Amino acid sequence: MNEEHFGRLTPRMNSLRDQLLDAEPQVDVERAMITTEVYRDNADQPLALKRAIMLKRVLEEMTIFIEPETLIAGNQASTNRGAPIFPEYAMSWVIDELDKFDKRDGDRFTITEENKEKLRSIAPFWEHNTLLDRGLAAFPPHSKLFYDLGIIKSEGNITSGDAHCAVNYAGVLSQGLKGYAMRAKRKLDELDLTDYRNIHKSYFYRAILMVVDAMRTFAGRYAALARQQAATASPDRARELEQMAAALDRVPYEPARTLREAVQSVWLVHLVLQIESNGHSLSYGRMDQYLDPFYEADLKAGRITEDEAAELMSNLWLKTYTINKIRSWSHTQFSAGSPLYQNVTVGGQKLVDGDPVDATNPMSWLILKTVAQCHLTQPNLTVRYHANLPDDFMNECIEVVRCGFGMPAFNDDEVIIPSFISKGVKREDAYNYSAIGCVETAVPGKWGYRCTGMSFLNFPKALLIAMNDGVDPASGTKLVEGIGHFRDFTSFEQVMACWDKVIREMARQCVIIDATCDMVLEQDTADILCSALTDDCIERGLNMKEGGSVYDFISDLQVGIANLADSLAAMKKVVFEDRAVTPAELWDALEANFEGSTNERIRQLLQQAPKYGNDDDYVDSLIRQAYDIYIDEMKKYHNTRYGRGPIGGVYYAGTSSISANVPQGAGTLATPDGRKAGEALAEGCSPSHGADLYGPTAVFKSVSKLPTEDITGGVLLNQKMTPQVLAKPENRRKLAFATRTFFDRLHGYHVQYNVVSRDTLIDAQKHPERHRDLIVRVAGYSAFFTVLSRATQNDIIERTEQTL
C-alpha cells in the first residue's frame, strides 16, 4: 500500500476495512419484498408516483445500522456487501440462478434457503412484468437476432436503472434537498392542468416532494439510532454519535455547513440513488471542487484537523465499498468483479474570469492520500490531467499508481474539453466535466442517463460476418446483405468494402436496439431522485429518460479494436501483398480453428504481420480507416431524447469494453490475426496480448492515431508494469514524463496502469487465500483478483508487462 509514503489508516478504519474484506457477499431480499408489495398495491398509480411510493416505503422499512467504527451513517442493504434484488428490472434470471449464486466461477454470493423461498414466492407476480421481459419482447425481430447471437450485447440496459451519471452534489450541499423541493412545489403550483402534458408533469413534481420527504425521514431514522447508541456508548463514542445525529437532523434536507455535514449529505444522497435503482456508474463528480471550501473553512476555524479530515474521507471510501450489486451470470461476465464504477474525479482545470487555471487544491491531495490508504476497488479514482498540472501533484499521482491497485486513471483535459465544446457543450460546463464510471466523461449534474455504455458491438465477429457475405459463420444465420465471400476476393479493397457494408448495418442495428431499450426504460422506470438532482429536469417537468437533462450524448462500446487492426493488417500483408496464402486457404484455416500443420503454418504467417501497438503506420492506418467508417455511420443517428429538450441527443464512439472482451471472445470463432476460437479479445483500445513489442511509448503512439476526437465515450488504455520497475525513483520520474508526453504531444485521451507481476498473479490463482488484498485493473475499473472468474484472471495474466 506504499505505507511509507501515505501512512496508515487509523486503527478503527483499518478494523472496518478488515470487516468489509471478510464480509461474505450476500443476496438481500428486503427491497424486493417491499417493492413487490408496493407495485401490487399501487398498480393503478402513475409511474412517477408509484416509483416514489416504492422508494418512500423502502427508506421507511429497510433495516438500518450504524457500525461501531463509523463516523457517517447509511447502508444499502441489511448487511454490508449485501446485494439487493431489484425485481421490477428482472426476476427470471434470479429464479433460474438461485441455487447457483454460491457456485459461480467468480463473483459468488450466498443466499439463505429462507430468502430463496421469499424470492420464489414473489416471482409469479413479476412473470412477464419486468423491464427485461418487456425489453426482450419489444426488440424488432431482425434486430433481436443480433442480440441473441451475441453480436450486439445490451443486457445491462434492460436489467438496470439510471446510471453513468453524476448528480449535482454541489447543488445539494449549497441548497439542501429543501431547495429542490421548493423549486418542484413552485413549478407544481404554476401548472395549468388544462394542458394534458402538465398533468403528466404534475406527477413528477409530486413524486419529487414525496422522495425529498422520504429522504428526510431516512436521515431521521439514523439520527434516532445514533442517539439510542450514544446512551450506552463510551463518552468519546457518545460524543461522536451525538455529532452524527446532529448532522443527520440537518442534512441532506438543509444545506451543509461543515465538512462532516457535507460528507454525510453526499453519502446519503449517493446511497439512496443506489437504492432507488440498480444502475451502476453513479459517480461522485469533481469532489475536490465541491468539498474543498468546507475543508479549508473547517481547518481555518479549528473545527477539524487534517488527520480528522483524512479519517472522515477514508470512512467515506469504506462506506462506498459497502455497496454491492448482483448481476445475472451472462451479464457478470461483461462486468467481472462486481464493479459499481463509482468514480471520483480530482485535479483538472477551472475557469477564473474566463481563463483556465489549475484546479488542484488541498482536498485533491487529501483524496489521493486517503484512497491510497484504503487500497480498495471503490471508489474508482480519476485524475484530470492538463499541461499545467503541478509536478508535485503529478508525482503524488505516480506514488498512488505505485500502490498497485490500478488507480488513478488519467483523463486528458486537452482532448476532452475541446471535444465537448465542438459538440455543443458550453465552455464553462466543458471545463467542469468529470469521469463517470470507467473512462467515460460527462458534465456532473447536467448530463442525461448513460453518457456511455449502451450496446457492446463485437468488431472481430462483425469482420467475420462481413467476410462471409453477411452470414454469421457460427450459426449460419443471414444477418446482412454482403458483397460476396472472402474466398472469392481478389484484392484487399474488397475486404474494406465488405467491412464498410456490414459495419454500417450493424451500427444501425445498435441504434435500433438502444432505442428499444430506452423506450421501455422510459415506459417502465422513472428514477425520481436521480432526475430531480440533474439539471434541468425540474424546470422542464421531465425525468432524465424523457429528456429533462441539459445535455444528452451517449455512446455504444466497440470491443476488439486491436484484433480488428491486426486482422486487417494480416490479410493485407499475407494474402494480398505477399500472396503467401490464398483467401480460400485462410478461410479454411479459420473454419478449422488453425488445427493441423498446414493451418498452423498459416497462423504463424498471420502472427508475423504488423501488429497494432508498435507505432507501425501499416496497421495503425488500417484501424483508423475501419473505425472511421463506423463513426461516420453513427453520426447519422439520434437517441430517443433528441429534439425533446437536451443539447445533443447524438452518438459518439467508446472503447470502454469493461470485461466484455472475455465473453465476447468466447463466442467468436478464429480470426485472421491468428487468434484461436474462444480466446479473449483485446480489451479497450489496448494492443493484443504480446503483440506490443517496443514498450509503452510505441503503444502510446499507436493509440494516438485513433480518431480520439470522435471517441468521446472513452479511449480505454491499460498498461501493465511490475512493482520492481516502479521501485526505482528514476523510473517513477520516467513514468510521469511518459504520461505527460502521451497527453501533451500525442493528445492521448486516457491511460491507467496495472502494477503487478505475472508471478504474483499466477501464485494468487493457485493460492487465493494468500492474496486477499490483491487488486488488479480489469478494464476501466479495479477488482480483487481472487473474486474474478478464471477466464478473466487468465486474460489479465497474459497482458504484456512493460518496462521503462
In a domain, 513, yes or no: no
Distance from C-alpha of 525 to C-alpha of 532, rounded to nearest angstrom = 14
Domain around 77 = 3-143
Distance from C-alpha of 704 to C-alpha of 415, rounded to nearest angstrom = 11
The H-or-E segment that residue 754 falls in is strand 750-755
Distance from C-alpha of 24 to C-alpha of 83, rounded to nearest angstrom = 11
In a domain, 92, yes or no: yes
783 bridge partner residues:
776
Cβ burial 609-627 (10 Å sphere, 16+ → b, else e): bbbbbbbbeebbebbeebb
| Domains identified in the chain, total number | 1
Distance from C-alpha of 404 to C-alpha of 98, rounded to nearest angstrom = 35
Question: What pLDDT is attached to residue 571?
Answer: 98
Question: What pLDDT is attached to residue 778?
Answer: 81
Total-model pTM: 0.96
By 3-state DSSP, what share of the chain in percent is helix, strand and coil, each rounded to 5? 55, 10, 35
Distance from C-alpha of 727 to C-alpha of 148, rounded to nearest angstrom = 48
Question: What pLDDT is attached to residue 162?
Answer: 65
- Unique residue bearing C-alpha cell 444465420: 477
Given 155, 261, 440, 683, which residue is catalytic? Answer: 440
Query: Under a CB-based contact definition with an 8 Å cutoff, are residues 572 and 463 in contact?
Result: no
Q: Which cell numbers in the block locate residue 743?
A: 497527453
Which of 789, 787, 785 is CA-nearest to residue 758? Answer: 785
Residue 451 is a catalytic residue: no
Share above pLDDT 70 across residues of the chain, in percent, rounded to a whole number: 99
Which of 247, 186, 181, 187 is CA-nearest to residue 213? Answer: 181
pLDDT tens track for 420-466 = 999 999 999 999 999 998 889 999 999 987 777 678 899 999 999 99
Question: What pLDDT is attached to residue 109?
Answer: 96
Which of 557, 21, 585, 63 is CA-nearest to residue 321? Answer: 21
Given 403, 438, 537, 685, which residue is catalytic? Answer: 438
Residues of the chain short of pLDDT 70, as ranges, are 1, 162, 453, 800, 804
Task: Please provide the DSSP assignment of 217-244 as one string.
Answer: HHHHHHHHHHHHHHTTS-HHHHHHHHHH
Query: Which own/partner pairs from 398-402 qualify as long-range (CB within 8 Å, at least 24 positions apart)?
Result: 398/726, 398/732, 398/735, 398/736, 398/739, 399/2, 399/5, 399/6, 399/372, 399/732, 400/2, 400/6, 400/368, 400/371, 400/372, 401/726, 401/735, 401/753, 401/755, 402/2, 402/723, 402/726, 402/732, 402/755
Amino acid at 581: V
Amino acid at 587: W
Query: Under a CB-based contact definition with an 8 Å cutoff, are residues 117 and 62 in contact?
Result: no
152 bridge partner residues:
457
Query: Under a CB-based contact definition with an 8 Å cutoff, are residues 652 and 712 in contact?
Result: yes
Residue 403 is a catalytic residue: no
Distance from C-alpha of 748 to C-alpha of 444, rounded to nearest angstrom = 22
Query: Under a CB-based contact definition with an 8 Å cutoff, are residues 361 and 288 in contact?
Result: yes
Terminal CA-to-CA distance of the chain, rounded, Å? Answer: 22
Beta strands in 353-449 (DSSP E): 355-358, 380-385, 409-412, 434-436, 440-442
Distance from C-alpha of 700 to C-alpha of 702, rounded to nearest angstrom = 6
Residue 623 CA, chain-centre distance (Å), reads 25
In a domain, 385, yes or no: no
- Taking the CA atoms of residue 447, residue 453, residue 454 and residue 460 in that order, the dihedral angle to the nearest 10 degrees is 150
Distance from C-alpha of 637 to C-alpha of 404, rounded to nearest angstrom = 41
Which of 664, 193, 217 is CA-nearest to residue 462? Answer: 664
Which of 214, 216, 215, 244 is CA-nearest to residue 229? Answer: 244
In a domain, 20, yes or no: yes
Query: Under a CB-based contact definition with an 8 Å cutoff, are residues 343 and 280 in contact?
Result: no
Phi, psi of 109 (to 5 degrees): -135, 145
Question: What pLDDT is attached to residue 628?
Answer: 97
Query: Under a CB-based contact definition with an 8 Å cutoff, are residues 644 and 650 in contact?
Result: no
Distance from C-alpha of 721 to C-alpha of 728, rounded to nearest angstrom = 13
Query: Which own/partner pairs from 309-312 qualify as long-range (CB within 8 Å, at least 24 positions apart)?
Result: 309/259, 309/366, 310/366, 310/369, 310/370, 310/373, 311/9, 311/10, 311/13, 311/71, 312/71, 312/72, 312/259, 312/260, 312/263
Beta-carbon contacts of residue 493 (< 8 Å; ≥ 6 apart): none
DSSP, collapsed to helix, strand or coil, labels residue 70 as coil
Question: What pLDDT is attached to residue 453?
Answer: 67
Phi, psi of 475 (to 5 degrees): -110, -15
* Rg over CA atoms, the chain: 26
Which of 336, 311, 316 is CA-nearest to residue 376? Answer: 316
